[in-house]
Amino acid sequence: MAENRMEFTKDLEEFHEELDSVNLGPLWAHINYHNSIEPRAKAIPYLWKSELIHNYLNRAEKLMQVGMGSAERRAVYLVNPGMKHLKPVAWGGATQTLYAAVQAVKPGEIAPPHRHTATALRFVMEGKGGYGRVDGEKLTFNPGDYLITPSWSWHDHTNLGDETVYWMDCLDTPFMMAMDVSFTEFHPDKQQPLLVPDDYSTIRYAGGMVRPITDRQPKSVALGRYKWELSKNSLDGMSMFEPDPNDGYTIEYINPSNGKDANNRIGARMTKIPPKFHGRAHRHVHSNVYHVYKGNGYTVMNGVRFDWSEGDFFVVPPWAWHEHVNTSENEEVYLFSTNDLPIMEVFDFERKEEYLLNDGHQEITDVFKPIMVKKLVSEN
């Protein structure tokens, strides 16, 4: 459906300028922006190479220490080029609602406790020896684990191992900034006190989808850590059947006491894409941040091919056509992703659509060229 656009005379354009000078606006001139035919996302499809992110994290490791009286966190966050005009700091936006970063904690470091309105989650990418404390519970960080830090929860991190630990952070910071509702508080101690045994919630839910009877009444946080082994077992079980035509084999991380998303404002999923799988394209209002945990392949977004490999990050903005492809003949792909679907569903904004042309596959009109470390080195 075409937008209705009126012609503006010279006198009318001068009138618009006069309205602007007194902080007023003409709806007749802007109604197509206020009420667009379909979403016009600020964020754009984009991809960040793992080597680029690690290059800057490695440099940051040499320039700063983490701890009280020093840097709160050593993290490099993803800035979507379509969000860079938003002040301050592009709202920290990988998408219009989601902040995503890679955090590095070296052996012996302690990232001190704080809490904030923004809700947060972690996905452990590599390295062993990491631990986090969340509201008095010490949680083990192992590769492939998913961990939650709900809004206004005290949390701190440490590394008791002998190698640097890297994980993905995801928060709803841009959403908080758009709503102007952010609060933050810093704990007076180097680490918060422990109130329960280590990995308490993980041990209580060691049986998977069964729950202690004391959790029959829903809790906002029943389980703080979702172990990789259980996630993989679930995906392997699903692999006995036909994959979803869009998303392969995909599971959601849920709160076992109420069946809702594990983190109430940010959804999280793990996707297994079998060899030679070519998904059908679709689009939806909610946005996604993807981390390639294992494997290689590409995603076509709005006709542009984005090639990715292990460790890379890419974003699917709202209402963007997208389809995933595993290019391997025999290796599986694992994609961890976060989304703002819980927010979209609360406000009844969510909508989705299947791509019906060309048997569900987009025509590739261009190939995305990511920023590479070698290019930057050659320019310096």
Q: How high is the pLDDT of residue 221?
A: 86
Q: Can you read off the two tokens belonging to residue 256?
A: 């076992």
Q: How high is the pLDDT of residue 210?
A: 84
Q: How high is the pLDDT of residue 258?
A: 92
Task: Give domain limits for the chain.
Answer: 46-379
Domain spanning 46-379: CATH 3.10.105.10: no
**CB under 8 Å to 17, separation ≥6 — which residues?**
none
- Confirm if 133 and 299 have CB atoms less than 8 A apart: no
Reported as a single tens digit per residue, the pLDDT across 95-119 is 999 999 999 999 999 999 999 999 9
- Confirm if 247 and 279 have CB atoms less than 8 A apart: yes
- Total length of the chain: 380
- Rounded Cα distance between 333 and 293, Å, is 8
- Confirm if 264 and 119 have CB atoms less than 8 A apart: yes
Q: Which of 51, 230, 63 is nearest to 142 (CA)?
A: 230
- Confirm if 172 and 151 have CB atoms less than 8 A apart: no
**CB under 8 Å to 139, separation ≥6 — which residues?**
131, 132, 133, 147, 198, 199, 201, 202, 224, 225
Q: Which residues of the chain have pLDDT under 50?
A: 378-380
Q: How high is the pLDDT of residue 4?
A: 65
- Rounded Cα distance between 14 and 2, Å, is 27
Is residue 102 classed as helix, strand or coil in its secondary structure? strand
Q: pTM score, two decimals?
A: 0.95
Is residue 282 classed as helix, strand or coil in its secondary structure? strand
Q: How high is the pLDDT of residue 379?
A: 47
